[in-house]
Structure 1
Amino acid sequence: MTAAHAEDAPNKQQNKMAQCNKEAEGKKGDERKKFMSDCLKNKKKAQQEKMASCNKEAEGKKGDERKKFMSECLKKDG
């Protein structure tokens, strides 16, 4: 992991937490805890789905070509 990636990781997690907190406004106690847990898991699931999609698109690529493709694919929004 490069220094740039190490710096980005906490920011991405903070962004997820901030978004979930915003969506949890008005919820309290156990309801809020469950919502936050589900919200953060859903964000993780979306990342896993993105990885699976990029892996499928990378079929046939090897070595540096694959690494470059995967990096660019995972950075794309949507």
Structure 2
Amino acid sequence: MKNVLAIALLAGVVGSGMAMAAEKTMTPQQQRMTTCNQQASAQTLKGDERKAYMSRCLKNSQSAPADKSLTPQQQKMKECNAEAGRQTLSGEARKTFMSACLKKQVR
């Protein structure tokens, strides 16, 4: 009986530790979902109003596009694409430029 109780207690401690670890490793989208959900609950929104609010909140239309973080690869792609646009490259020339630009090391 004591062994069963000890095992159950140990499982509870390990389970709560995993839950805490899972909370610490939430993706930005998961964090946004949690925040939006809490805000919708605080406003006691229900039905279609809640759906509309959640949609707007998850799209984060209030924040500027620069607020969204890009991965280094996405940032590099954005910069190369902008440079190709400034040079008004198209077709094979653009393809060659983009390939060379994306292969360059980020300083």
More helix by share: 1
Name the TM-score, length of structure 1 as normaliser. Answer: 0.47
Name the TM-score, length of structure 2 as normaliser. Answer: 0.36
Larger Rg over CA atoms:
2
